[in-house]
Amino acid sequence: MPKRHGADVRIRTVQAILESEGRAVKQAARKLGISCETVASWVWQERASEQGTELERLRRENVELASAYAVLRSVVLETMRSSARR
């Protein structure tokens, strides 16, 4: 049965690796007595989670910008129509 590591070990390990730009995977794994594959998997999962969070934020921002664009477009079109009537 695989050995389980506490969440605190996982969080600290991943944080240290991300701060070192991923160069420390082998070192961290060796230091903790964990396989490189396990540590790399932790890092991959964290990066995927961060990307998912960023994607959600960008989608919300896109909806807000599309709405603002629609409002501005209607104001500009109405202004142009008013100018043409004069």
At residue 1, the pLDDT reads 47
Q: Under CATH, what is the fold of the domain 7-85?
A: Arc Repressor Mutant, subunit A (1.10.10)
Residues 6+ positions from 47 with CB-CB distance below 8 Å: 18
Q: Quote the pLDDT of residue 51.
A: 94
Q: What is the pLDDT of residue 31?
A: 86
pLDDT of 22 reads: 65
Cα–Cα distance between 4 and 29 in angstroms, integer? 14
Digit-by-digit pLDDT tens for the chain (86 residues) are 456 778 888 898 888 888 887 678 888 888 888 889 999 999 999 999 999 999 999 999 999 999 999 999 999 999 999 988 87
User: pTM, whole model, 2 decimals?
Assistant: 0.64
